[in-house]
Amino acid sequence: MTTTFINRPMAWTNQRLKYTQNDCINLKALWKMLILNDNHEKEDIKSNKSLGLIPHSISDKNSENDMSLLKFFAINALELSAPASPVLLLQQQKSIPSGTWLQLAGHPESIAPGANGIVRKRISGVDDSEAIAYRGISKDAYASKIVPKFLGVTESNGDTYLELQDLLHGFRDPAVMDIKMGRRTFLESEVKNTKLRNDLYKKMIAVAPTEPTDEEHKQEAVTKLRYMLFRERMSSSESKGFRIEALRMKGSSPITDLKTVKSDTDVYNTIARFLCRKQNVTKQLLERLKQIRGYIEKSHFFQRHEIVGSSIFIVYDEDRVGAWLIDFAKSRRLDEHVKIDHRSQWEIGNFEEGILYGVDQLISIFEDISAESNST
Ligand code: I3P
């Protein structure tokens, strides 16, 4: 891709930001990013490359937070091997530092802050599809390296939770971005779902008032398939195999009004602005994205599953960067005879979702941004 950096206001104007702060439309669908705006005293660097965290201090000389690798491996080993029984977690909840939790993304109240680097995500039960996916992933040498550490399933007060590595733990006022992967973002089962939904019609006309047909306007409802295809077409999902769902810059409010970020220029500029011309961050994230691609290609889990609706979650602060694949509620095991490459175009029955096609496109944009920032 040959895109040049043009500093357009696009999704970054104050007006947009103001609108976004008052905009509740997106909140239901966005559960992933929990940002703790706290007033902690400065923490030690706690990083671990194998968990997707890349400390700047490894490549940046003279970082004031330099710590021996041994020390941060030891810290992480302690945190992630911490027993995660319901009782302990409830006790830990009491010691959560006071601060403001912002749920930037997602189905509300499905995720709860834990402590010691753990978050809990509510699921339907022990056989929830996401729990099944995490169990499979954690047995896969490659897939397990690109997702949050899975600590198990726990029950508390009648609810069941996944216990996962808190990807923001230890970061200070981080920049975060959630990129939903894939050209197809719905399960094939939606094709047969004829249920008409007024909420999706409302979301549709909020973005494009003239999009519904006369019939749909009359019914004031659309099917989920109709809405999801529209959503993919209005954003970059259809063309690039990914879309930027939400982001937050250091010291700023979250931006979730990104449903029409679609063109090469808009996508490029949004990511470039997110990276703030930080060469080191861009370079390390590019390496991590390539690593993620390589692990997906080698993983047996990915060969045997369609991965629908997952996101790449990117985070960086002054000290470190990290990127992981998250959200496996719509990952499904493929029948034995079905083979997918995660890049081909979807046709009903072939189960292709285009996640690797999206990673290819994303890497290409990061390469362009990296080249641009090196040349200026
Ligand atoms: C939502 C988004 C979610 C989807 C949700 C959509 O649209 O595509 O991924 O949830 O369906 O409404 P938007 O991003 O425009 O808010 P699932 O991934 O769980 O299907 P829902 O309304 O049926 O929850």
pLDDT at 113: 73
- 96 CB burial (10 A radius; 0-12, 13-18, 19+): middle
Q: Is 29 in the pocket of ligand 1 (CB under 6 A)?
A: yes
User: Residues 11, 270: contact at Cβ < 8 Å?
Assistant: yes
- pTM, two decimal places: 0.78
DSSP assigned state of 141: T
Mutate to test the pocket of ligand 1, among 183, 224, 306, 331 (most ligand atoms within 8 A of CB): 224
Q: How far apart are the first and last CA of the chain?
A: 18
Phi-psi category of 319—alpha, beta or left, where left has phi over 0 and alpha has psi -120 to 50?
A: alpha
Domains annotated on the chain, with CATH: 4-68+172-375 (3.30.470.160)
pLDDT at 88: 27
pLDDT surpasses 90 at 92: no
Q: Is 184 in the pocket of ligand 1 (CB under 6 A)?
A: no
Q: Which among 54, 61, 7, 3 has a CA at the least distance from the CA of 371?
A: 3
pLDDT at 117: 87
Mutate to test the pocket of ligand 1, among 30, 201, 203 (most ligand atoms within 8 A of CB): 203
Q: Give the confidence band of 55 by pLDDT, cuts at 50, 70, 90.
A: low
Phi, psi of 161, deg, nearest 5: -130, 145
Q: Which among 242, 261, 268, 245 has a CA at the least distance from the CA of 181?
A: 242
pLDDT at 50: 44
- CA 86 from chain centre, in angstroms, equals 26
pLDDT tens per residue across span 334-364: 999 999 999 999 999 999 999 999 999 999 9
CA of 316 from ligand 1 middle (Å) equals: 26
Mutate to test the pocket of ligand 1, among 129, 228, 234 (most ligand atoms within 8 A of CB): 228
Q: Which among 180, 164, 141 has a CA at the least distance from the CA of 50?
A: 141
pLDDT > 90 fraction of the chain, expressed in percent and rounded: 67
In sequence order, what are the residues at sequence separation of 6 or more whose Cβ sits closer than 8 angstroms to the Cβ of residue 214? none
Encode burial over 328-347: b for 16+ CB neighbours within 10 A, e otherwise.
bbbbbeeeeeeebebbeebe
pLDDT at 105: 57
CA distances from 376 to 68, 126, 279, 372, 373 (A): 33, 52, 11, 7, 5
CA of 312 from ligand 1 middle (Å) equals: 17
Among protein residues, the one whose CA lies closest to atom 2 of ligand 1: 29
Give CA–CA dist 76/299, Å, rounded: 25
Q: Is 26 in the pocket of ligand 1 (CB under 6 A)?
A: yes
- CA 64 from chain centre, in angstroms, equals 30
More confident site: 22 or 273: 273
Among protein residues, the one whose CA lies closest to atom 24 of ligand 1: 29
pLDDT tens per residue across span 8-47: 333 333 333 222 332 322 333 333 433 333 333 333 333 3
Q: Is 186 helix (H, G, I), strand (E, B) or coil?
A: coil
Q: Is 224 in the pocket of ligand 1 (CB under 6 A)?
A: yes
| For residues 201-207, average pLDDT | 98
Q: Ligand 1 atom closest to Cα of 245?
A: 14
Question: Side by side, which strands form the sheet with 53-55?
Answer: 53-55, 320-326, 311-316, 175-181, 242-248
CA of 110 from ligand 1 middle (Å) equals: 14
Q: For the chain, how big is the Rg over CA atoms in Å?
A: 20
pLDDT at 355: 98
Q: At what angle do helices 264-275 and 279-298 cross, to 10 degrees?
A: 120
* Residue entry with tokens 């109709």: 226
Q: Ligand 1 atom closest to Cα of 207?
A: 15
CA of 29 from ligand 1 middle (Å) equals: 5
CA of 123 from ligand 1 middle (Å) equals: 16
Q: Is 203 in the pocket of ligand 1 (CB under 6 A)?
A: yes
CA of 270 from ligand 1 middle (Å) equals: 22
pLDDT at 104: 53
CA distances from 147 to 99, 169, 191, 199, 286 (A): 26, 15, 29, 32, 17
Give CA–CA dist 140/298, Å, rounded: 10
